[in-house]
Chain A
Amino acid sequence: MKQNDIRRQIAGRAIPLPGNDIDTDRIIPARFLKCITFEGLEAHVFEDDRRQMPDHPFNQARYQGATILIVGQNFGCGSSREHAPEALRRWGIRGIVGESFAEIFFGNCTAIGLPCLALDAEGVAWLEDAVSRCQEQEVLLDVEHRLVRVGERSVPAMIPDGARNQLLTGTWNAMGVLLDAGNEIDRVARSLPYVNGY
């Protein structure tokens, strides 16, 4: 695997986005799914929320250039659209940390090399606080050691083994390893009654 496919640590300035259950329709409204490429999606990330809330974090000058997104619970629930993580990634987000993630969204992020680390509620509150007091503060997401660090302090973070291993070995684009199974795939297919007309 190419060294640059490996996601061991992500460091950068952070942008806190408070609130729970933020769905993918909010991250990227459906009208922007009328496309055949992901290009340009970053321009519309949180578009409706940003229009309705002028002080939305993504509108604030001080958070421009941030690479770490801090979220609450169940971030990315709803639609399976990979346009949501793509819009965030193209906006500049390289890692997400929050209380919890919706499952399809988490998988989609991993599949494009965007690590999602979970902290407990206290951890997220501490992180939001640290960042809002000094937005130049660098936040480190350590996938390898399952930690989130700001300055001298670090807190334990959670990420399932499978996703962590994929990120650390640069196999988050699963297609390559899946292809490696070769004829084993056909063997399983042949063993399934419905593939063989029962």
Chain B
Amino acid sequence: MADTLLDKLWRAHTVRTLPSGQTQLFIGLHLIHEVTSPQAFQMLREAGLTVRYPERTFATIDHIVPTASQARPFADAMAEQMTVHLTRNCKEFGISFFDLDNDRQGIVHVIGPELGLTQPGMTIACGDSHTSTHGALGALAFGIGTSQVRDILATQCLAMAKPKLRQIRVEGRLTRGVYAKDVILAIIRRLGVKGGVGYAYEYAGSAVTAMSMEERLTICNMSIEGGARAGYVNPDATTFEYLRERPFAPHGEAFDRAVRWWKSMTTDPDATFDDIVILRASSIEPMLTWGINPGQSIGVSERIPHPHDAPDVDRAAWAEALAFMDLESGQPIAGTPIDVAFIGSCTNGRLSDLRVTAEVVRGRKVAKGIRALVVPGSQAVARAAEAEGLHEIFLAAGFSWRKAGCSLCLGMNEDKLTGREICAASSNRNFKGRMGSPTGRTLLMSPAMVAAAAIAGEVVDVREMLP
């Protein structure tokens, strides 16, 4: 029988069928961070239990870290306390922790793949909804809550129901100035923010197989924004080459053996899906959001929609979004002034994102009055960018060059919007209040588009600025 990668992953990791009818699923890699783990450790202690497979859990610190000065203790006492707790919990239970003084630290979804922890054929979970990112390497990876973090700590397992599978094929070639971020925004626009509920997404098609690993990570990252808890790309030569020589990937003969297994962990050619959706790559233009969820997006050449264009069920939401964003229906979205430009996050905080940004800003200046920052996704990304001199390009253009962390993506550290500021952002959520100001506004777009907006002081079509 022909199987999908989802079928194979599910079967390989099934411990048993639970009385509830759900599957007890073994989790191969568990990643934790400071925000969603403290209560889980507390629950574990209260139950008198210990961590069953401490060597399969890795911790980092990312959400609350300051990106300017990282001197300890942190200025923010609560951030300091969360750090102390994570350190203590990892020490007590024997878990590897990439702390700030460890050069492997970074955003959890950046460092997993970068260190080779994330591998094809694995099940991966983390108390963080963007865990779907890791599916880019051919893993089944999903976000969980704190009670489930506890369950994995105690048993290395989760109680789960198998999702349905939708294949999303992006066929053809992307045009100049269009990136992985635009593809996933176009997918979410088409299928909606709840279209993926109950599904995992398999991304396929010639445009996806042509993508680098970092581009695939961007696509899988935002699966959850489309409602799908997990999204993956079948592993291929790009995946294997990406993993070669990474610290936690197998080395030498073990690598060759691993590749043989990884090659078997792919969707069979005649496998069937619960649904198939096909997009033409050439029809996608640079995208950005105009509203307060990631599905409320348009191409940069389009006009801001009117609620009367909305499907009936969305009309009130569109009106609410437009009022919150203070955008005028019928006007071109290009030309919308911005206050802040943010390059970073687990969606677009990797080296290739910083390279594209540098390409746009090289020799140019950030428009007057715009606050612009580049926050690398990990210390390794920062080092690699500095080795190429990218940080000098950013600094010369008027960006600030920060230390690795989540930063403005959710505003849990000092990086926040103030008041009604509007931010062109390479991150993944434009929810009300997401960037730390309850009334602050976010326009999601590719790093290239953010860079262009920073230079122009307003939304512009990056294709006009590319060399």
Smallest CB separation, A104 vs chain B (Å) = 5
The closest CB in chain A to the CB of B35 belongs to A33
Residue A59 at the chain B interface, CB threshold 8 Å: no
Smallest CB separation, B108 vs chain A (Å) = 12
Smallest CB separation, A165 vs chain B (Å) = 4
The closest CB in chain B to the CB of A73 belongs to B194
Residue-wise interface mask of A (48-87) relative to B, using a CB-CB cutoff of 8 A (1 in contact, 0 not): 1101100000000000000000000110011111110100
Residue B314 at the chain A interface, CB threshold 8 Å: yes
Which residues on B sit within 8 Å (CB–CB) of A102? 194, 197, 227
The complex places the Cα of A51 from the Cα of B432 at a distance, in Å, of 13
Number of interface residues of B (CB under 8 A): 83
Residue A195 at the chain B interface, CB threshold 8 Å: yes
Residue A95 at the chain B interface, CB threshold 8 Å: no
The complex places the Cα of A11 from the Cα of B122 at a distance, in Å, of 42
Residue B220 at the chain A interface, CB threshold 8 Å: no
Decide: A181 near B15, CB < 8 A? Known: A36-B81, A175-B151.
Answer: yes
Which residues on B sit within 8 Å (CB–CB) of A197? 250, 254
Which residues on B sit within 8 Å (CB–CB) of A191? 12
Q: Which of A2-25 contact B (CB under 8 A)?
A: 19-21, 23, 25
Which residues on A sit within 8 Å (CB–CB) of B432? 25-26, 48-49
Judge whether B19 and A165 touch: CB under 8 Å. Answer: yes
CB contact between B156 and one of A48, A100, A185 (< 8 Å): that residue? A185
Residue-wise interface mask of A (166-179) relative to B, using a CB-CB cutoff of 8 A (1 in contact, 0 not): 10010101110111
Judge whether B79 and A34 touch: CB under 8 Å. Answer: yes
Smallest CB separation, A30 vs chain B (Å) = 5
Residue-wise interface mask of B (416-455) relative to A, using a CB-CB cutoff of 8 A (1 in contact, 0 not): 0000000000000101111010110000000000000000
Judge whether B64 and A34 touch: CB under 8 Å. Answer: yes
CB contact between B121 and one of A52, A163, A194 (< 8 Å): that residue? A194
Residue-wise interface mask of B (10-25) relative to A, using a CB-CB cutoff of 8 A (1 in contact, 0 not): 0011111011111010
CB contact between A169 and one of B19, B39, B78, B122 (< 8 Å): that residue? B19
Residue-wise interface mask of B (331-345) relative to A, using a CB-CB cutoff of 8 A (1 in contact, 0 not): 000000000000000
Q: Which of A95-123 contact B (CB under 8 A)?
A: 100-104, 107-108, 111-112, 121
Interface size of A as a range: 35 or more
Smallest CB separation, B223 vs chain A (Å) = 11
Judge whether A181 and B157 touch: CB under 8 Å. Answer: yes
CB contact between B36 and one of A81, A165, A173 (< 8 Å): that residue? A81
Judge whether B229 and A192 touch: CB under 8 Å. Answer: no
Judge whether B82 and A36 touch: CB under 8 Å. Answer: yes
Judge whether B127 and A80 touch: CB under 8 Å. Answer: yes
Residue B399 at the chain A interface, CB threshold 8 Å: no
Which residues on A sit within 8 Å (CB–CB) of B205? none
CB contact between B433 and one of A48, A111, A121, A188 (< 8 Å): that residue? A48
Decide: A189 near B144, CB < 8 A? Known: A34-B82, A174-B151.
Answer: no
CB contact between A82 and one of B147, B154, B438 (< 8 Å): that residue? B147
Residue B411 at the chain A interface, CB threshold 8 Å: yes
The closest CB in chain B to the CB of A160 belongs to B161
Judge whether B121 and A74 touch: CB under 8 Å. Answer: no
Which residues on B sit within 8 Å (CB–CB) of A101? 197
Smallest CB separation, A17 vs chain B (Å) = 14
Q: Which of B103-161 contact A (CB under 8 A)?
A: 119, 121-122, 127-129, 142-148, 150-151, 154-159, 161
Judge whether B36 and A189 touch: CB under 8 Å. Answer: no
Which residues on A sit within 8 Å (CB–CB) of B12? 191-192
Judge whether A29 and B161 touch: CB under 8 Å. Answer: no
Residue B282 at the chain A interface, CB threshold 8 Å: no
Smallest CB separation, B122 vs chain A (Å) = 6
Judge whether A162 and B159 touch: CB under 8 Å. Answer: yes
Q: Which 8 A-B pairs have the closest CB atoms?
A: A108-B145, A82-B145, A111-B147, A48-B438, A165-B20, A82-B146, A36-B38, A74-B194
Q: Jot down 30 A-B pairs with beta carbons below 8 A, ordered by A.
A: A19-B320, A20-B317, A30-B411, A34-B412, A35-B82, A36-B85, A48-B433, A48-B438, A73-B313, A78-B129, A78-B429, A103-B197, A104-B224, A111-B147, A160-B161, A162-B20, A169-B19, A171-B19, A175-B151, A175-B154, A178-B155, A181-B15, A184-B16, A185-B52, A188-B13, A191-B12, A193-B121, A198-B250, A198-B257, A198-B261
